[in-house]
Amino acid sequence: MYHYYNPEAETMPVTQLKELQAKRLHDTVKRVYDHVPMYRKKFNEAGLKPDDIRSVDDLEKLPFTVKQDLRDNYPFGLFAVPMEEIVRIHASSGTTGKQTVVGYTKNDIRIWGEVMARTLGAGGVTKKDIGHISYGYGLFTGGLGGHIGSETIGCATIPASTGNTVRQITILQDFKPTFLLCTPSYALTIAEYLEDNKIPLESLNLKFGFFGAEPWSESMRAEIETRLNLKAYDIYGLSEIIGPGVGYECEDQCGLHIAEDHFILEIIDPNTGKQVPDGQRGEIVFTCITKEALPLIRYRTRDIGCKIPGLCSCGRTCVRMAKPSGRTDDMLIIRGVNVFPSQIESVLMDLGGIAPHYQLVVERENSLDRLTVLVELTEENFTGEVRRLEEINKKIRSAIESTLGIAVTVKLVSPKSIQRFEGKAVRVVDKRKAK
């Protein structure tokens, strides 16, 4: 039996969903045209009036929005409502430039609660469950996003936030939450702490975990499910669109279901800007069709993903998206070859016997790029026996090289020597950029 928080919205007949999207899209386009100078200018330049947008197929006529637009209008220039309607502000730090600021009206917060309740509900959470939220509370949307979803369902909700793993584990043992929200890398840190301190999993009561905010592989999912004895769901979102709650998995764990009555998904070729056929990878683009404060039109996320053709057996009628494989700006180009950290993660996890902690270091030597993969050994493999270590190194190197098609250097490092993260993990150190 599948679970739904809002079966009416989630299983709405496709034709009805398309009509609803068309109406909401038209209304949103009109609203931004009337209230956001940047959009009025962009639409005028494209010779477009809101009434030209009558169906979802008209979406392609509209100009894109990019992160630079948010920066150019920092902090509040893209808000479509007066400041007195805003009840919340979040921001995402980003690695370069000014932070991206996002705002919410009362109704936006309600919608956020709704889509996050769908996310948790799809995994089987009911009001009898107890939620432990270990995403950061603050300007980052993870903590408060998880929080509102859990409270909207009616769960007892623990705002643990990040950090202090010892304290987190005491809470997990004493308050017995049944579900956990954090980044997949922090879930591993918790698992590691339990193992190192011989804390039995039976002293916890976790049934499900909702992990996201960074890319993670299927093999990483299997690792977390075993080591924490829970069902691990992927959750996807970004502050510019609403935060977590944009895409979520059902019990079949076969793709992220997009809350399409609120966000329209397109996959485009990042070079041409044209939509690509379902099943083909490209850049993920979202249009908000119910947001009031910051309804972004065709926002280019820089994430790479694809639509999964066909409907899911859970009965949800919305489109599904495959796990994002990375970001266009995380993609490393090494000697002309495109490399995503997630590809290397999959290779490492599939080999087994290696700790799920790794880091990629890219350097440039005599104008040649060099990729070094730091791989952490497990205690069992850390024997100090040179021949054994050489064998492991060779096995990893040839597995990575046959996947990527480029030469790499593998450096085995001792257990627990790679930095652990409480929030999003930093997997790549690109020393070429510093020069």
Site string for ligand DLL, 111-150 (x = CB under 6 A): ------------------------x----xxx--x-----
Q: How far is the CB of 133 from ligand DLL (least distance, A)?
A: 10
Q: How far is the CB of 418 from ligand DLL (least distance, A)?
A: 20
**What is the number of other CB atoms lying within 10 angstroms of the CB of residue 414?**
11
- The DSSP code for 57 is G
Rounded CA-CA distance 115/242 in Å is 9
- Residue 378's nearest CA partner among 242, 211, 188 is 188
In the bound state with ligand DLL, the residue whose beta carbon lies nearer, of 99 and 165, is: 99
**Residue 134: alpha-carbon gap to chain centroid:** 15
- Binding residues with ligand DLL: total (CB under 6 A): 22
- Residue 302's nearest CA partner among 123, 138, 38, 96 is 96
Per CB under 6 A, does 381 bind ligand DLL? no
Q: Which of 124, 244, 282, 356 binds ligand DLL (CB under 6 A)?
A: 244
Q: Which of 50, 124, 131, 215 binds ligand DLL (CB under 6 A)?
A: 215
Q: Which of 124, 131, 237, 282 binds ligand DLL (CB under 6 A)?
A: 237
In the bound state with ligand DLL, the residue whose beta carbon lies nearer, of 244 and 282, is: 244
- Residue 282's nearest CA partner among 291, 290, 272 is 272
Site string for ligand DLL, 320-359 (x = CB under 6 A): ----x--x--------------------------------
**Residue 120: alpha-carbon gap to chain centroid:** 15
Q: In the complex, which residue's CB is closest to ligand DLL? A: 212
Rounded CA-CA distance 46/299 in Å is 17
Instruction: For the chain, give the number of residues.
Output: 435
| 72-91 exposure pattern, b = at least 16 Cβ within 10 A, e = fewer | eeebeebbbbeeebbeeebb
In the bound state with ligand DLL, the residue whose beta carbon lies nearer, of 237 and 356, is: 237
Determine the residue type at 244.
P
Q: Which of 80, 160, 194, 238 binds ligand DLL (CB under 6 A)?
A: 238
Q: What is the DSSP string of 288-319?
A: ESS-SS---SSEEEEEEE-EEPS--TT---S-
Site string for ligand DLL, 288-327 (x = CB under 6 A): -------------x-x--------------------x--x
- The DSSP code for 378 is P
In the bound state with ligand DLL, the residue whose beta carbon lies nearer, of 129 and 345, is: 345
Per CB under 6 A, does 179 bind ligand DLL? no
In the bound state with ligand DLL, the residue whose beta carbon lies nearer, of 28 and 217, is: 217
Rounded CA-CA distance 354/396 in Å is 10
- The DSSP code for 54 is -
- Whether residue 118 contacts residue 6, with contact meaning beta carbons closer than 8 Å, is answered with yes
Rounded CA-CA distance 8/285 in Å is 26
Q: How far is the CB of 84 from ligand DLL (least distance, A)?
A: 26
Residues of this chain that interact with ligand DLL (CB under 6 A) are: 92, 135, 140-142, 145, 212-215, 234-239, 243-244, 301, 303, 324, 327
